[in-house]
Structure 1
């Protein structure tokens, strides 16, 4: 894969980050608005599992190309940090949801 193809594909990690963040935030606020609605917790649980799997796959994808494309390491590292930043955000949402 050449660098130009990868540059266009790397934008998917930004989309994944934003989608994971937006989806988790929406579910978190819905749970805060409707605290007795168990269905939101169930949906949130499955959303969390799917988001974790997709983010881990993307992280490994980025780390793989981090080793192959030394001229794009800064951009790849920034994208990996974006993906990793979902972890503390999701952890905070889980903590606030179950410790209210």
Structure 2
């Protein structure tokens, strides 16, 4: 039973990164396809705020794991890199939406 718990905690950050990417991409593509629908713009902003909060908590958890669990240091660094890889993608999405809508 403890092996099952190890597997689920090791894949949770990767799943979170994938879900964050998929959700952000959904709102981004929806906004590009339907630019006059404000629902996708507001939903996307809410999603970004929620994803930022949950990913920050996961990052803190992984940083703690990096310090405490020295045996899984390499795997934890990979998980942190995968989680942080969403930042430039989200920044690109926001840049495109801001420039498309002349928000600034």
CA distance in 2, matches of 1:38, 1:24: 16
Q: Quote the RMSD (CA, aligned, Å).
A: 1.6
Shift of residue 6, structure 1, vs aligned partner: 4.0
Shift of residue 68, structure 1, vs aligned partner: 0.6
2:23 aligns with 23
Give the gaps of 5 or more residues in structure 1: none
CA distance in 2, matches of 1:43, 1:60: 26
**Per-residue Cα deviation, 1:62-83 (whole angstroms, up to 9, x for no partner):** 0001001111000000000111
Are 1:27 and 1:40, in contact at CA under 8 Å, matched by a contact in 2? yes
Shift of residue 4, structure 1, vs aligned partner: 7.4
Shift of residue 31, structure 1, vs aligned partner: 0.4
Mapping of residues 1-100 of structure 1, within 5 Å: 5-100=5-100
Give the gaps of 5 or more residues in structure 2: none
Structure with higher RCO (Cα < 8 A, 6+ apart): 1
**TM-score normalised to the size of structure 1?**
0.92
CA distance in 1, matches of 2:50, 2:80: 18
CA distance in 1, matches of 2:31, 2:79: 29
Across the two proteins, how many residue pairs are aligned to each other? 99
